[in-house]
Amino acid sequence: MEAFPLTPSGKVLKRELAEMVKRGELEPKPVRYVEKKEIA
């Protein structure tokens, strides 16, 4: 995907993203945030 589908005001069209997943155009991948431990 080169760009997110946007409304004229620049907001992401979440409904269109969901439809793209249903059509098989997108495949969501799970992502887990891992906080970096800073040595003090």
Mean pLDDT of 8-31: 94
In this prediction the pTM is 0.62
Burial class, 28, CB count within 10 angstroms (exposed 0-12 / middle 13-18 / buried 19+): exposed
Distances 21 to 7, 13, 24, 27 between C-alpha atoms, Å: 18, 13, 5, 6
CB 16 within 8 A of CB 5: yes
Q: Can you give the pLDDT at residue 40?
A: 67
Tokens of 21: 């997943």
Mean pLDDT of 6-35: 93
